[in-house]
Amino acid sequence: MSNPKVLIINEAFNNHTGGGITLSNLFSGWEKDKIAVICQSYLLNGVDNSICDTYYQLGHKERKFSFPLNLINNKHYSGIIDVDNNNATPAQNEAKPTLRSRLIMNYFYPALKYLGLYHRILSTGISSELSEWLTNYNPDIIYAQAHDSEGVLLVLKIQQHLKKPMVFHMMDDWPAIATGNKLLTRSKRKADEYKFRELLNRSSVLMSISHKMAEVYKVKYQKNFTTFHNPIDLEFWSRFQRNNYDLPKTPTLLYAGRVGLGIDSSLKLVAKAVQKTNTDLKVALRFVIQTKQRPEWIDEFDCVDHKSFVSYEDLPKTFSEADFLILPYDFSEKSLQFIGYSMPTKATEYMISGSPVIVFAPQETALVNYAEKENWAAVVTKNDPSALYNCLATLIKSKEKRVALASRAIEVATKNHSSQAIKSQFNETLRSLIQ
């Protein structure tokens, strides 16, 4: 049976963000003429056009600000964009952001969102141009994500316009953060909750990013969610798979990923644990942080190195060359609300690399739940550098432990996360909506 024609809302294909990578791996092999994307401009940096080259950018015609903010807000281009050389380029050029626009985007708008006022000045709808494009594209089904209440409203309006079956894929528990903001009015929190439940009710298929999310949402929303996490191409990721577990004179502990909510505090605790490990065990362990931004505190430690991102093509080699890989989460209540049911995209990529993995996260998280259940990582659930130090010391002293963890991780990744098996299930799920 042929694949249905799909409209994707609120996410773009790329190889440098968790959402973009997961989307790319799930839809890899889909016919290009049967995929189109609608999203905001910030998602279009470094787009991968190998899977999809049809993008509609939401701009000033769909996202309208009320007076007086309409006077200071830049008019982002609305419409089809040209995707060339893996970079999204609008069909008309936009000026580079000024200092004023950067201040507005980075500080003013986030403050309005935090205060619960953003929804009062912004309305998102379907312009006549978008309406015409949707009618002409005429998808068989909708695949949607949403990362805030504005995204929910957009999905609802497009689904109502097209009246096509919809798949909704939940990536993290952002509603817990939104409804937990005490500065939002009670009526706004209720309205957001109502719209989110309406989205779930309108969806023909619901997907979660982790089994724990599916279990919790089953109780909370009385809905069944099917779990689809980031699948991995075993051939691609096994090219440099580690098979030597002797430690060099200067071993490395690698973190590769984003910084921000849910991560920052734990990274500094990891640095403290590495510092203690070097002092107590008389070793020269290096903590390598591979992120876009260089943490401000990094100069406080002589055991920490910052490196820029490498290309996706080079990640299998980078991960397998690290002596240890770490997946850290912050332990604050706000962070736990946000990441509690999430599963890092790189978890499966770490597992298949052959390097021993350490999970440093709260006990309640889906990540810890999965790691402990399948025994594919050394797990530390205490927000204490000494606890992490004990874990590092054990792994440094025991080659047998390193080999056992790495072997088990490879086994679990191969059994549970093969792209061939998961894509087949994913494709069949989407095809079932048009049978």
Ordered structural domains, the chain, with CATH: 6-231+419-434 (3.40.50.2000), 235-416 (3.40.50.2000)
Average pLDDT over residues 61-65: 84
Average pLDDT over residues 223-252: 97
pTM over 0.85: yes
Of 32-41, 265-274, 299-308, 330-339, minimum mean pLDDT range: 330-339
Quick one: pLDDT band at residue 167, thresholds 50, 70, 90? Answer: very high
Taking 50 as the threshold, does the pLDDT of residue 88 lie above it? no
Average pLDDT over residues 364-368: 96
Quick one: pLDDT band at residue 430, thresholds 50, 70, 90? Answer: very high
Taking 70 as the threshold, does the pLDDT of residue 66 lie above it? no
Quick one: pLDDT band at residue 370, thresholds 50, 70, 90? Answer: very high
Average pLDDT over residues 94-110: 60
Quick one: pLDDT band at residue 89, thresholds 50, 70, 90? Answer: very low
Quick one: pLDDT band at residue 118, thresholds 50, 70, 90? Answer: low
Taking 50 as the threshold, does the pLDDT of residue 91 lie above it? no
> Over the chain, what is the mean pLDDT?
89
Quick one: pLDDT band at residue 181, thresholds 50, 70, 90? Answer: low
Of 66-80, 134-148, 184-198, 356-370, minimum mean pLDDT range: 66-80
pLDDT at 74: 62
Taking 80 as the threshold, does the pLDDT of residue 256 lie above it? yes
pLDDT at 190: 84
Taking 80 as the threshold, does the pLDDT of residue 203 lie above it? yes
pLDDT at 85: 47
Of 77-91, 145-159, 181-195, 236-250, minimum mean pLDDT range: 77-91
Quick one: pLDDT band at residue 306, thresholds 50, 70, 90? Answer: very high
Quick one: pLDDT band at residue 70, thresholds 50, 70, 90? Answer: low
pLDDT at 94: 43
Taking the CA atoms of residue 419, residue 422, residue 423 and residue 425 in that order, the dihedral angle to the nearest 10 degrees is 160
